[in-house]
Amino acid sequence: MKILLDECLPVRLKNLLTEFDVFSVSEMGWRSLKNGKLLKAAVENSIDVFLTVDKK
């Protein structure tokens, strides 16, 4: 399972999810993408779960 961590989450969270393939928005080079464009990029790259605490 591929998990994407939004930039509002600490990257060290990856250390707790060792049984999954975890990527940060920064690692993927997607920091400049917002909302719909970010979700589209995630889908196009077969991301299964997007974790965020963003209220938008």
pLDDT digits (tens, 9 = 90+) for 7-23: 999 989 999 999 999 99
Of 1, 28, 30, which is closest to residue 17 (Cα–Cα)? 1
How confident is the model over 39-55, as pLDDT tens digits? Answer: 999 999 999 999 999 77
Strand, helix or coil for residue 30 = coil
Q: Residue ranges per domain, the chain?
A: 2-51
- Model confidence at 56, pLDDT cuts 50, 70, 90, reads low
pLDDT recorded at residue 34: 87
d(CA 49, CA 5): 9
Which residue's entry shows tokens 């930039």?
7
